[in-house]
Structure 1
């Protein structure tokens, strides 16, 4: 049985989801408006960890499956939203902001259950990205110009929904190739994602 797709949310779950969404907006605001980016990011991650711990405690009494998950993916430290549009198909959006600029990525993923491992699936997919990089980017990488970057992305990974807790973990590799702007292959994107599910 696939524990990912759940078309109808109860009112209590919807209220909980709305609360989490508003807290995530607060975190994003802290990141964007903070003067000291390192301190602001630490505070935002601490707040996000508190949300996850609180959600875990809540879920121990009310285990749920999920259709949507919201969290953080390392590398690069992006906000990640994953939503199942069908039983075995999901879309994932990633937003990354730094002093160098920002990058938005959209992925379409096909999920396949792993026999004998409840809640564990592997997935594969593709999509694209757009980014805008500042002069800080040019200073850090002198051979790469700043400005607009548009490209294609692939993804291959494992996804695990923790039974009885509103947590989803995934580990993936997300290679990308820039086709507009500085043309280059980037093989280091992807990594561990921790998401709150609702």
Structure 2
């Protein structure tokens, strides 16, 4: 009898845990367009976000701008806001490489590669009745190369098609 209750209790906890994990992100994968704006060049390009289960997700993007190509990946911790039906918040961080052409007016070095860390804090909304989502976040740029500097006035906006 003890084993039956232990098995039932374990199954109940597992079911509750799976429900909680499924509730953290309203989709499994999303593909779309990201726009990175603020001080410096405006960058635009494709992005993909994938939930690894629970509150954990990864995001990858390739952004193009004024003589700049940027590759980045991020880890994010995601939570849905209770009672909002599709609205959630997230925080994250990830590395970024920027390849700059010598003719860029935004960077001081010629033909350089910049390595940066990008923390992020934002909101994401997935339309409950459609496979469409949006996000907006504050995503400062912390350059660790070429006279390291921190640019706090950077933001991203994304439009995505969600795949469950």
- TM norm structure 1: 0.63
How far apart, CA to CA, are the structure 1 residues paired with 2:151 and 2:47?
19
RMSD: 1.9
Q: Give the alignment of 1:30-45 within 5 angstroms.
A: none
Provide the C-alpha distance between the structure 1 equivalents of 2:68 and 2:144, rounded to a whole number of angstroms. Answer: 18
Q: 1:130-185, CA deviations, whole angstroms, 9 ceiling, x for partnerless residues?
A: 11101111xx136x213010011100000111112110111111112111234221
- SS across alignment from 2:84: coil
Q: Which residue does 1:124 correspond to in 2? A: 91
Deviation at 1:187, TM superposition (A): 2.3
Equivalent residues of 1:72, 1:79 under 8 A apart: yes
Q: Quick check: which has more Rg, 1 or 2?
A: 2
- Runs of 4+ in structure 1 deviating by more than 3 angstroms, as ranges, are 1-5
- How many Å separate the matches in 2 of 1:189 and 1:145? 21
Matches within 5 A, 1:13-162: 66-75=27-36, 76-137=43-104, 140-141=105-106, 144-146=108-110, 147-162=112-127
Task: Identify which of 135, 142, 153 aligns with 1:177.
Answer: 142
Q: How many Å separate the matches in 1 of 2:155 and 2:60? A: 13
The structure with more strand, counted as a fraction of residues: 2
Query: Unmatched 5+ residue regions in structure 2?
Result: 1-18, 37-42
Contact preservation (8 Å) 1:114, 1:121: yes
Between Structure 1 and Structure 2, the one with more helix by share is 1
TM-score (norm 2): 0.75
Offset at 1:68? 0.7
